[in-house]
Amino acid sequence: ANITYIEASGQATTLKLADGWSLMQGATANGVDGILGECGGSCACATCHCYVDEARLADLPPASDNELAMLDNVAAERRPGSRLACQIKASAALDGLIIHLPDMQE
């Protein structure tokens, strides 16, 4: 799936992610700076916070209770489209998704 990351600076990067890769893995493996992913994807650090385009939120599986709890700890403003990028797996359903990255992750 093609995923576009837009950093707080406005820098946009589109990556083609294999199915099953998390949006956090894709960003950190390809030098997208706005995601840290300090816990390695185990939903325990909240440094992979991103804002999903609200029009596409329904294309994503809903956040788990654990993810929702971690979203209480994000460094930047929490918004309706806030998700943790390590909990979103690339799939055909997400093709063309745009996510915005917050101005801080910690």
Nearer to ligand FES, 34 or 37 (CB): 37
**94 counts as binding ligand FES under rule CB under 6 A:** no
**37 counts as binding ligand FES under rule CB under 6 A:** yes
Q: In what order do the strands lie in the sheet with 49-52?
A: 12-16, 2-6, 97-100, 49-52, 82-84
Nearer to ligand FES, 1 or 45 (CB): 45
Tell which one of 4, 7, 13, 39 touches ligand FES (CB under 6 A).
39
Stretch that binds ligand FES, among 6-14, 43-51, 89-97, 98-106 (CB under 6 A): 43-51
- Residue 74 has a CB neighbour count (10 Å cut-off) of 20
Q: Which residues contact 95 (CB under 8 A, 6 or more apart)?
A: 1, 2
**47 counts as binding ligand FES under rule CB under 6 A:** yes
Report the first-to-last Cα separation within the chain, whole angstroms: 28
Residues 48-67, interacting with ligand FES (CB under 6 A): 48
Task: Check if the beta carbon of residue 27 is closer than 8 Å to that of residue 35.
Answer: yes
Could you list the residues that contact ligand FES (CB under 6 A)? 24, 37-39, 41, 43-48, 70, 84, 86
